[in-house]
Amino acid sequence: MNQEQKHALVETVENTSPWERISTTEDGIFLIKTPENNGNVTVFVEINPSVKGQPLKKRGVFIKNKEEYEIIKELLSNHKIKELLETINEFYCKQEIPKIEI
């Protein structure tokens, strides 16, 4: 980020209410400001898939710092997660909801 972008980010966060979702120019990436605690403000990056700037889920994955990002990135690169999701989809996501005749 250049200095102008950093300044705009800080200004936007300072003028935002707690828990308000701040959109970014990257789809699926938002900022969330939390309420002040002992004079400190915390800002999270929220990863939440979006369509036309609107998040698909009520809440996404909240990341507070670079260390959390690295841990999550490593977890998501684990091929077993993909296998697990494929198995879940195979057995649970394609079931039709039975209709009850009344």
Please list the pLDDT of the chain residue by residue as tens digits (102 residues): 899 999 999 999 999 999 999 989 888 999 999 999 898 989 999 999 888 767 788 899 999 999 999 999 999 999 999 999 899 888 887 666 666 677
Has residue 13 been placed in a domain? yes
Domain assignment of residue 98, yes or no: no
The answer to whether residue 102 sits within a structural domain is: no
Q: Is residue 43 part of a domain?
A: yes
CB contact at 8 A, 9 and 22:
no
Is residue 100 included in any domain, yes or no?
A: no
The token pair at 93 is 């996501």
Q: Which domain holds residue 77?
A: 3-93
> What is the value of pTM for the model shown?
0.75
Task: Domain count for the chain, please give it.
Answer: 1
Asked if residue 89 is part of any domain, the answer here is yes
The reply to whether 101 falls in a domain is no
**Residue 53 domain-assigned (yes or no):** yes
What is residue 94's predicted lDDT score, i.e. its pLDDT?
65
